[in-house]
Structure 1
């Protein structure tokens, strides 16, 4: 049996993998592990719980709340709120831990459960392993020692005030289209942008429990592109289902990905003296153009493995203030403990308002190198870094591309699959090398 926790909590098909019984038992195991410190102090443990609006979140969050309360944990139910909102409220309330019910950018049939430690931080692997090992263990308080479940009445207001308090410039005069993915940001994102002074047009903000991420949001940008052009907006912002990421669209409808967003924000933080250690934390998948833009600006780059948890780890270890992924998980450590799509969108729009420049102009400082990604399934991924013929071809490609391109081979963490990524100064060269290397991966590493 594989590890229960994935890269972002426990996820699966609701009522098949994530059943009410499983959610209750997982919550009891989490309470057993995460409330240990509070119990040792003689305090009643407290937890914040939030969820996205998919239909299964109601019964799963109820089961989680029941599991926690039956373990003596007082539960503050924040209702529908973005993942970063749940993390913020965990810290703001000084709760012992937090829980978010969401499957992020997945479709409605899926759902998931993720936990935050005190302070709103994602759990390290070792703590997740303790929770998994504790499944079947349960605290059994009785009488007045059982926990209460209380509606966290001002949860959204607290988070909203926090968001508004972070932006360096009001958004007066900026017209923005928001695509909320029919998800957790459907209410709070339009409110935040409106309160900040922007003229707001919304799409994908009518969740019915089944339409989350359905043809909208950061995984389906065509609707946002069309809306921005149709309304003559300055920019568009797209969230995913739990709003921990943000992608954008400029006034022409061109996509602005996480690398472009980090470029704009890193330069803004450097100019204001707030870019800690003058360094940006990215993953190995970030575009070469981002690295060149940062080099030209005198900003250092630290690369991590793919996954926002690895970016977060590097930021916490090194004391860095900005990091993120091409996919739009952008982390401001000064304001958040996880990626926050609403926060990111507000700060991006604030740069448009503050500079008087279009988003297209702001991102133009980053050259965009074509990236080609080819997935090769059904191969022995363990040999990807050791096969001599494959390594020789990668070296040949790297030497030919020089400093105007690169090759990256990555073994999938969950499948017998190797990802081949090639960057080059033109699409044809990138595609040619990617196809050639992928064919050799298929031949040399076949199972």
Structure 2
């Protein structure tokens, strides 16, 4: 089975209670993954399940539990937990599998299922395809006998465990005492753990987005809506603002003046600090094709490499493991610190930025712009049908743009793996030309999708 029927670039995702995000599919995921990860060893097998705060989590979670327990696997329920926390707990509890129920930064009406192996890393494409193949088969003969059904139980201290793990990544010689920090949790998975970790490290914490009701996750708050963070920073005269997304695997930061710092600048800040302290492994940073040319130039000036991968933190993590890197991420704010975590973690990345801020005597505004970004423009074109990227007119527009930008620029046009969008990006040293070619390509895409 080579074509993906359920899994996209980051697990299964879609509108809740609509295929493929239905209780029936969740049940089949539990049955299929339970069968695949249940070894022949004479022991109890276990899966841990975490979720964000979406209303549909109450539907998806019990369906997964039913699937796993009927396959003979014990289930440990973590409750609201950041995606990286689920990865950590999968390893910590020596589970055979980890599951996160979340649609990340998507609206509350969406949901998703992400799977982690026993090592805490997201499953490979090959493993996901194996699960899909099993989901397409009859699984009735693989049901556990009544005497071997799995049991489900809640892990009451899971959030406290994650807080302690997060705090341990902050340098022992430092404290956050004296810093006033706005933390926007997007009414999502980190609404308890992130403010607690910052407070226990000594900060004066101003929490935003910490009142989830099942329907307000990412709603005018969090990393995709930094306006709430900026407003709070200015209102409370904070030293820094931190905004997480719904499952807390990405972040946005703003300085004390309310200016937003993107993921590329955050990676540059951490890379420079770690390189100076001989902590940066692999001789560089891994980022995606979306990262700004300015980051590549910044690293090159320090004799460091920028390794580019396809979009998606799973691609970044794979290259990090292959090349021995310990820092990677995406411009969108997925930052992976492999010394501490197996996937992106917004809180851990924020703590590394706070460590640099606290160790020096300069405000965040002096640290926020590590390099001058090359002019870059991104435009998203929504489509409902067809394959606009196969259009000859679109291909011609892309080729023309590449010719006009020359060797000093680049064009990237790709389909989103999680939404019905075509992302059109270009960058170069001529801002007017960059903007013009993006508009022309986007126009060609719209015509092809009409």
The corresponding residue for 2:117 is 117
The two structures have a TM-score, normalised by structure 1, of 0.92
1:167 to 143, 165, 170: 170
Give the Cα separation in 1 of the matches to 2:422 and 2:68.
Answer: 40
The corresponding residue for 1:151 is 154
Give the Cα separation in 2 of the matches to 1:147 and 1:100.
Answer: 19
For the Cα contact (< 8 Å) 1:4–1:10, is it kept in 2?
yes
Q: Structure 2: give runs of 5+ residues left out of the alignment.
A: none
For the Cα contact (< 8 Å) 1:381–1:417, is it kept in 2?
no
The corresponding residue for 2:401 is 394
The corresponding residue for 1:231 is 236
The corresponding residue for 1:97 is 97
- TM-superposed deviation, 1:40: 1.9
The corresponding residue for 2:86 is 86
- TM-superposed deviation, 1:282: 0.4
SS of 1:217 mapped into structure 2? coil
- TM-superposed deviation, 1:297: 2.0
Instruction: Sort the Cα spacing of 1:429 and 1:28 in 2 relative to 1 into closer, same or farther, 3 A.
Output: same
* 1:301-338 per-position Cα deviation (integer Å, ceiling 9, x unaligned): 10011111111111111121010001111001111111
- TM-superposed deviation, 1:116: 0.6
For the Cα contact (< 8 Å) 1:276–1:319, is it kept in 2?
yes
* 1:26-69 per-position Cα deviation (integer Å, ceiling 9, x unaligned): 2111101122xxx3222221111111111111231122112111
The corresponding residue for 2:269 is 264
Q: Does 1:409 align with 2:405?
A: no
Give the Cα separation in 2 of the matches to 1:57 and 1:413.
Answer: 22
The two structures have a TM-score, normalised by structure 2, of 0.91
Give the Cα separation in 1 of the matches to 2:16 and 2:168.
Answer: 36
Give the Cα separation in 2 of the matches to 1:34 and 1:255.
Answer: 43
Give the Cα separation in 2 of the matches to 1:290 and 1:307.
Answer: 18
Give the Cα separation in 2 of the matches to 1:307 and 1:384.
Answer: 27
Q: Does 1:359 align with 2:382?
A: no
* 1:155-201 per-position Cα deviation (integer Å, ceiling 9, x unaligned): 11211111111112322221110110000000000001111111110
Give the Cα separation in 2 of the matches to 1:115 and 1:187.
Answer: 23
1:137 to 128, 136, 139: 139
The corresponding residue for 2:389 is 381
SS of 1:47 mapped into structure 2? strand
The corresponding residue for 1:277 is 282
Q: Structure 1: give runs of 5+ residues left out of the alignment.
A: none
The corresponding residue for 1:314 is 319
- TM-superposed deviation, 1:375: 4.1
The corresponding residue for 1:344 is 349
* 1:278-302 per-position Cα deviation (integer Å, ceiling 9, x unaligned): 2100011101111121112221110
- Once the two structures are overlaid, the 10-residue window that deviates more, 370-379 or 66-75, is 370-379
Give the Cα separation in 1 of the matches to 2:336 and 2:46.
Answer: 26
- TM-superposed deviation, 1:105: 0.9
- TM-superposed deviation, 1:440: 5.8
Give the Cα separation in 2 of the matches to 1:414 and 1:359.
Answer: 33
The corresponding residue for 2:260 is 255
- TM-superposed deviation, 1:381: 1.4
SS of 1:431 mapped into structure 2? helix
SS of 2:234 mapped into structure 1? helix
For the Cα contact (< 8 Å) 2:4–2:132, is it kept in 1?
no
Give the Cα separation in 2 of the matches to 1:201 and 1:335.
Answer: 26
Q: Does 1:24 align with 2:27?
A: yes
* 1:331-385 per-position Cα deviation (integer Å, ceiling 9, x unaligned): 0111111101111111111211112222221132211223212345566413679
What is the aligned length? Answer: 439
SS of 1:40 mapped into structure 2? coil
Instruction: Sort the Cα spacing of 1:28 and 1:214 in 2 relative to 1 into closer, same or farther, 3 A.
Output: same
- Once the two structures are overlaid, the 10-residue window that deviates more, 47-56 or 408-417, is 408-417
The corresponding residue for 2:205 is 200
For the Cα contact (< 8 Å) 1:99–1:116, is it kept in 2?
yes
The corresponding residue for 1:10 is 12
The corresponding residue for 2:424 is 420
- TM-superposed deviation, 1:436: 3.8
